[in-house]
Amino acid sequence: MDIFFDRKSVRKYTNEEVKDEDLNYILRSAMSAPTAKNTRCYSFIVIKDKTTHAEIAKRHEAAQMILQAPLAILVVGDESLAYNSYFPQDCSAATENILLAAVAKGYGAVWCGVYSNEKRQKALEEFFKLPPNIRAFSLVIIGKSADDTPAKNGWDETKIKYERWQ
């Protein structure tokens, strides 16, 4: 298993829970991501409650798989703390670490975009009662995968340039 090449967006899950020790590893991985000037301007809302999952599904049309998942993490960023308005990059790095850590621990996950979709952002920021400086950034849904399709092969030599564009 290779966490980079076996990662894929998983949208179907078994009934198995995410173990607390694995959740702890996943959150530690998120907090090991780089942030500009080391502001660590992210926070993570761990959501296991099924009623809350249903409320999220009403507010994010492309996150309906949350209704079958045991766990979601809402990654949020403090834009007042971020250096140079870099909070989206900081939160992206943390989000990707969560995806890869989930694979490392034998789970599947999907990144559901929140920032910069104004409608989703507003709905979730209101629901979670986020303070004015805190932006809802991404929703990561995690569970044991019930999807055995292979990960995509992203390798494409045409994406690589050497020294200059041409």
Ligand X SMILES: Cc1cc2nc3c(=O)[nH]c(=O)nc-3n(C[C@H](O)[C@H](O)[C@H](O)COP(=O)(O)O)c2cc1C
Summarize as ranges the residues that interact with ligand X (CB under 6 A): 8-9, 11, 62-63, 110-113, 152
What order of strands is seen across the sheet that includes strand 42-47?
A: 42-47, 71-78, 134-143, 108-113
Q: Tell me whether residue 2 or residue 163 sits nearer to ligand X (CB atom).
A: 2
Q: Tell me whether residue 19 or residue 122 sits nearer to ligand X (CB atom).
A: 122
The distance of closest approach from Cβ of residue 65 to ligand X in the complex, given in angstroms and rounded to an integer, is 7
Integer Cα distance of 143 and 151 in angstroms? 16
Q: Tell me whether residue 82 or residue 124 sits nearer to ligand X (CB atom).
A: 124
The distance of closest approach from Cβ of residue 166 to ligand X in the complex, given in angstroms and rounded to an integer, is 28
The distance of closest approach from Cβ of residue 113 to ligand X in the complex, given in angstroms and rounded to an integer, is 3
The token pair at 43 is 């926070």
Q: Residue 17: CB partners within 8 Å, gap ≥ 6?
A: 70, 71
